[in-house]
A and B are shown apart, each in its own frame.
Chain A
Amino acid sequence: MRENRHPAGDFEGHIPALRRYARGLIGRDHADPVAVADDLVRQAVERERLADRSPWRGTPRLRLFASLTSLNRTRLRATPVTSPQPKSPDRSLGVQDALARTQIDDREALLLVVVEGFSYAQAALILGVSRLCVANRLARARQCLSGPQEAASAGQTPGRPAHPPYLRLVK
Chain B
Amino acid sequence: MTHISETELNAYVDGETFPERQAVIEAWLARNHADAAKVKGWRRQNQMLRASFGRILSEPLPPSLASAALNTSGALEPSGGSVAMLSARARAAPAPGPPAWDRRDRVALIAAGSFLAGAGVACLAGFLAGLH
6 residue pairs from A and B, CB less than 8 Å apart: A11-B70, A16-B58, A46-B74, A111-B49, A111-B53, A153-B44
**Contact, CB under 8 Å: A17 / B67:** no
Mask, A24-57, CB within 8 Å of B = 1, is 1000000000000011011001100110000000
Partner of B38, one of A20, A49, A163: A163
- Does B105 belong to the interface (CB within 8 Å)? yes
* Residues of B near any A CB (own CB < 8 A): 5-7, 10-11, 14, 16, 33-34, 37-38, 40-42, 44-46, 48-54, 56-59, 61-62, 64-65, 67, 70-71, 73-76, 90, 94, 96, 99, 101-102, 105
**Contact, CB under 8 Å: B64 / A92:** no
A9 CB to closest chain B CB, in angstroms?
A: 6
- Tell me if B's interface is mostly helix, strand, loop or mixed: helix
- Chain A residues near B41: list those with CB within 8 A: 146, 149-150, 153
Q: Using a Cβ–Cβ cut-off of 8 Å, how many residues does chain A contribute to the interface with B?
A: 55
* Residues of A near any B CB (own CB < 8 A): 1-2, 4-5, 7-9, 11-12, 15-17, 19-20, 23-24, 38-39, 41-42, 45-46, 49-50, 91-93, 95-96, 99, 110-111, 113-115, 119-120, 132, 135-136, 138-139, 142, 145-146, 149-150, 153, 156-157, 160, 163, 168, 170-171
